[in-house]
A = this chain, B = another copy of it.
């Protein structure tokens, strides 16, 4: 089958999958978990093959680590499925109900989006996680993993396809793509694919966003800021900045730039610089910062760079509004925090900073679906429509309007009949 035919196949299956009930979907999810448990040795054998090839090709150690899908990672994937089983079915929820007239009732009901294209890098865990999220939410999945995980991904996709087919899930709902050329074809299939979720480097995500007319859910850059206000608690400012920068430097919600009010900078920067130096963080600063602490000079490029590394750029500002402007100009709309004891300042910062996540007196690192208690994380989005910030299962859903009548025609309204538009409290009966 060509990629186009496989996408059409996934589309056909998605229609039936959208109507699958909760029991059926949960039974299939349990079957996947069991199959992964029962076939652990086969999965590890396939993964070893990928690891051997990767070692022969001198893949870097961090990539090898991500590629490995050992007993403990398989257990982790199974635990993920079990936690998904405990979540309520997000499909078929009545979001709004209105009586338009007697015997004419309108229901807004949640439903799956349809076909989700997911492109992820090496980690085979992602294949299990994202396909199970799609299944729980009634969506078909077109998956493209890293080519270095080919054997592992094939084995996992086969196991999932078999387990779900044997449990009454429409065949064809899960499709594995294998080459870069497949991805190129996929980006053009806007008739069959409804949403693309790319997980990977910012260049990669940016490429996807620029080369498809299919909507994309995700984020390219994560250029997060901490702003220390003139009315900040100094000790808290140091503690939160250190956590935002250093708790895990290689992730999108780590801080890259510190903005600090000139009136508090002389008091906060020295202890902050000492704490960051202890953790091996390189500091780059504006000229005014350099007058207070030892820093490398920051260039214009620094303000728009996601280091994903132990580097922090620092800029002194004269007003909070200057900080807000800096964030809205140089940031990526991901996560930005203010440290202040002044409620009015916090309110202004949180309304004027145009980011998916705006924090007051806490670390940018909290910006995450697990920490938010979403139950499952589909990804983090810097989109301005559909879903923003950490996205749970609801990011894979849309709704349809169901109107239930008893023979009404529009011609009757405007003349004899009038709309009542009365809010109803019941769920959709069909």
A-side residues, CB < 8 A to B, are: 14-16, 18-19, 98, 100, 104, 106, 111, 113-114, 194-195, 209-210, 213, 215, 217, 233, 236, 239-240, 242-243, 247-248, 324, 328, 343, 346-348, 350-352, 354-363, 365-367, 371-373, 383-386, 388-390, 398-411, 413, 419, 421, 430
CB-defined contacts of A243 to chain B, threshold 8 Å: 409-411
A363 to B417, CA, bound (A): 15
Q: A366 touching B407 by the CB < 8 A rule?
A: no
Q: A373 touching B113 by the CB < 8 A rule?
A: no
Chain B residue with minimal CB distance to A385? B386
Contacts A14-B354, A104-B362, A247-B409 known; 4 new A-B pairs at CB < 8 A? A106-B373, A242-B409, A363-B408, A384-B398
CB-defined contacts of A388 to chain B, threshold 8 Å: 398-401
| Distance from A335 Cβ to chain B, minimum over Cβ atoms (Å) | 9
| Distance from A148 Cβ to chain B, minimum over Cβ atoms (Å) | 30
Q: B356 touching A400 by the CB < 8 A rule?
A: yes
A15 to B327, CA, bound (A): 12
Q: A430 touching B384 by the CB < 8 A rule?
A: no
28 contacts across the A-B interface (CB closer than 8 A): A15-B328, A15-B352, A104-B362, A106-B372, A114-B354, A213-B213, A243-B410, A247-B409, A343-B430, A346-B404, A350-B430, A355-B400, A356-B400, A357-B400, A357-B401, A358-B401, A358-B403, A359-B403, A361-B407, A362-B406, A363-B405, A363-B409, A367-B403, A373-B419, A383-B398, A386-B398, A389-B400, A389-B401
| Distance from A119 Cβ to chain B, minimum over Cβ atoms (Å) | 17
Chain A at the B interface: SS class: mixed
A309 to B59, CA, bound (A): 63
Chain B residue with minimal CB distance to A114? B384
Q: B236 touching A407 by the CB < 8 A rule?
A: yes
Chain B residue with minimal CB distance to A384? B194
A386 to B421, CA, bound (A): 24
Chain B residue with minimal CB distance to A215? B385
Q: B366 touching A19 by the CB < 8 A rule?
A: no
A104 to B373, CA, bound (A): 13
Q: B19 touching A351 by the CB < 8 A rule?
A: yes
A357 to B236, CA, bound (A): 52
> Do A358 and B400 form a contact, CB below 8 Å, given A195-B384, A243-B411, A386-B385?
yes
Instruction: Point out which of A16, A324, A383, A408 has the most chain B C-beta atoms below 10 A from its C-beta.
Output: A408
A123 to B293, CA, bound (A): 62
CB-defined contacts of A209 to chain B, threshold 8 Å: 213
Q: A360 touching B247 by the CB < 8 A rule?
A: no
A347 to B15, CA, bound (A): 14
Which of the residues B354, B356, B373, B419 comes within 8 Å of A100, measured between beta carbons?
B373
Q: B373 touching A403 by the CB < 8 A rule?
A: no
CB-defined contacts of A242 to chain B, threshold 8 Å: 409
Which of the residues B343, B354, B363, B404 comes within 8 Å of A360, measured between beta carbons?
B404
| Distance from A352 Cβ to chain B, minimum over Cβ atoms (Å) | 6
Chain B residue with minimal CB distance to A390? B401
CB-defined contacts of A360 to chain B, threshold 8 Å: 402-405, 430
